[in-house]
């Protein structure tokens, strides 16, 4: 199962030179989950400018052990140096940036859960970054299964694995964290988390958390202050699409596509499920996929990471998605599992159109990050793919 899920990355200016650097969380041998050779090491790439990157993993302390999944960057200790959290199958590793390209490791407790994604955000508004961790299914090598899809061995549907609760760590300052998952109300809700978007949906000034779950109801944790949360996805209309069928909800991003001042939501899913888009009315989310044309465009697509930015400088946030199926190329879908990247132009906050200008090779794309890599003022995209090099999509918008 982990073999189809990896490919997390983070953009961070770890050396403070003003250029965004890149960190890639890599996998490991299966079923041992051990990084048995250098090809499995995580990678830290320093941006030297001019489109050049230097591999500075060696000596950084980030090579790591275990099967890496996701990563998130944030200066949690407020020392001006961007730190890193790396998620994996059975662990959460916190890396404090010591400067000089070196990191020190502290492990956060996660009871052996499959940590998949994370977000640094000051949820209690006390001036430092707390950590929200999205956990995927209950899985171990011992319970791994293989399924048959169209006569070929392939990954199993997530229904074969149990749900897992997410975690919230309060930043106590001084590099210390406290697991407040239970008292915050987060641990009350188990799911199969894949993505998280931070958004103040109700306009109370406190960041809320939208969590996508793979084929189970999504969560919307409304922030009631003092690290107390209420799960209100159903009431807000984002637990499940109107037809009642829980999609394979994957990556998600909050963005104000209609520029009405309220943050909207979109997430990726698999073929026939579309990439559901929700307009925030301030009181609830209303499905906008059919109205904006995003649903018909994405009906035949499968997606993982998704990012939003104004790629063409017209003032409207566009979308880009890392596409491919969850099933393997050697399995039932064959080469059809690979897809090109998906670019969706936002036409005045009313319609989305497929950006045919972006032509990319079909691959098993997984996750992406949007950042101005070359410092030209235009958002670029870094995309990972399974068993393939990461791709830098340079946006020459000027």
Partner 1 sequence: MQMIWLLIGTLLWAQADAAREALRAGRFEEAARLYGALVKQYPEETMLRYNVGLALYSAKKYAAALAELKLVLKVQPNLPQANLVAGAAMLKLKQACPALPYLLKAESMREAPEYLEQRAEAEAACGNAAGAGEWFEKVTAKQPGNARAWYGLGLARVAAGNEAGAKEAFERLSALPASPELRRLERDVARGLWTAGRYAEALEALARVKTLVGPEAALEYELGDCEEKLHGPEAALPHYREAVKLDAKLISARAALGRALASLQQPKEAIPHLEIAARAGIDKSLWLALANAYRATGRGEDARIALQKAR
| Binding interface with partner 1 (CB under 8 A) | 217, 234-235, 237, 239-246, 272, 274, 286-287, 290, 295-296, 299-300
The CB-of-153 to partner 1 minimum distance in angstroms stands at 17
Query: DSSP assignment, residue 331?
Result: T
- Pick between residue 124 and residue 287 the one whose CB is nearest to partner 1: 287
The CB-of-164 to partner 1 minimum distance in angstroms stands at 17
The CB-of-240 to partner 1 minimum distance in angstroms stands at 5
Q: Is 129 in a helix, a strand, or coil? A: coil
The CB-of-329 to partner 1 minimum distance in angstroms stands at 15
Sheet holding 351-354, edge to edge: 303-309, 318-323, 342-347, 351-354
Question: Is the bond into 31 cis (omega within 30 degrees of 0)?
Answer: yes
State the CB neighbour count (10 A cutoff) for residue 376. 13
- Pick between residue 39 and residue 283 the one whose CB is nearest to partner 1: 283
CB 333 within 8 A of CB 244: no
Residues contacting 398, CB < 8 A, separation 6+? 313, 376, 377, 378
Backbone angles phi, psi at 155, to 5 degrees: -70, 150
The CB-of-154 to partner 1 minimum distance in angstroms stands at 14
The CB-of-332 to partner 1 minimum distance in angstroms stands at 10
Decide the pairing of beta strands 229-231 and 219-223. antiparallel
Rounded-to-integer distance, Cα 297 and Cα 293, Å: 6
- Pick between residue 127 and residue 244 the one whose CB is nearest to partner 1: 244
The CB-of-307 to partner 1 minimum distance in angstroms stands at 25
Helix and strand counts by DSSP (H, E) for the chain:
4, 31
Report residue 67 as tokens.
């099967």
- Pick between residue 235 and residue 314 the one whose CB is nearest to partner 1: 235
- Pick between residue 53 and residue 221 the one whose CB is nearest to partner 1: 221
- Pick between residue 97 and residue 280 the one whose CB is nearest to partner 1: 280
State the CB neighbour count (10 A cutoff) for residue 153. 12
CB 20 within 8 A of CB 373: yes
- Pick between residue 235 and residue 376 the one whose CB is nearest to partner 1: 235
State the CB neighbour count (10 A cutoff) for residue 335. 8
């Amino acid at each position: 199962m982990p073999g189809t899920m990896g490919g997390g990355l983070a953009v961070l200016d770890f050396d403070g030179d003003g250029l965004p650097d890149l960190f890639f969380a890599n996998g490991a041998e299966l079923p041992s989950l051990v990084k048995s050779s250098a090809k499995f090491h995580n990678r830290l790439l320093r941006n030297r400018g001019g489109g050049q990157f230097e591999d500075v993993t060696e000596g950084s302390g980030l090579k790591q052990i275990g099967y890496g999944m996701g990563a998130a960057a944030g200066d949690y200790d407020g020392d001006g140096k961007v730190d890193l959290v790396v998620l994996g199958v059975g662990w959460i590793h916190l890396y404090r940036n010591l400067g000089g390209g070196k990191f020190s490791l502290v492990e956060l407790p996660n009871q052996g859960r499959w940590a998949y994604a994370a977000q640094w955000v000051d949820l209690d508004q006390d001036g430092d970054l707390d950590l929200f961790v999205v956990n995927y299914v209950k899985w171990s090598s011992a319970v791994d299964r293989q399924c048959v899809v169209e006569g070929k061995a392939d990954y199993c549907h997530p229904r074969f694995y149990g749900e897992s609760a997410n975690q919230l760590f309060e930043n106590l300052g001084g590099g210390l964290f406290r697991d407040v998952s239970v008292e915050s109300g987060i641990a009350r809700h188990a799911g199969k988390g894949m993505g998280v978007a931070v958004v103040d949906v109700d306009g109370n000034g406190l960041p809320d958390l939208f969590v996508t779950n793979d084929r189970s109801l999504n969560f919307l944790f409304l922030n009631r202050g003092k690290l107390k949360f209420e799960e209100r996805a159903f009431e807000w209309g984002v637990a499940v699409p109107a037809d009642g069928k829980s999609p394979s909800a994957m990556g998600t991003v909050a963005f104000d596509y209609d520029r009405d001042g309220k943050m909207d939501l979109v997430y990726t899913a698999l073929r026939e499920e579309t990439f559901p888009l929700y307009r925030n009315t301030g009181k609830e989310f209303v499905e906008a996929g059919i109205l904006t044309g995003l649903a018909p465009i994405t009906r035949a697509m499968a997606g993982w990471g998704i990012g939003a930015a104004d790629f063409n400088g017209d003032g409207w946030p566009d979308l880009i998605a890392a596409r491919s199926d969850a099933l393997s190329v050697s399995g039932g879908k064959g080469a059809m599992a690979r897809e090109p990247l998906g670019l969706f132009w936002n036409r005045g906050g009313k319609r989305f159109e497929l950006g045919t200008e972006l032509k990319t090779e079909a691959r098993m794309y997984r996750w992406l990050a949007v950042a101005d890599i070359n410092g030209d003022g235009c958002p670029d995209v870094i995309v990972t793919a399974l068993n393939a090099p990461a791709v830098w999509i340079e946006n020459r918008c000027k």
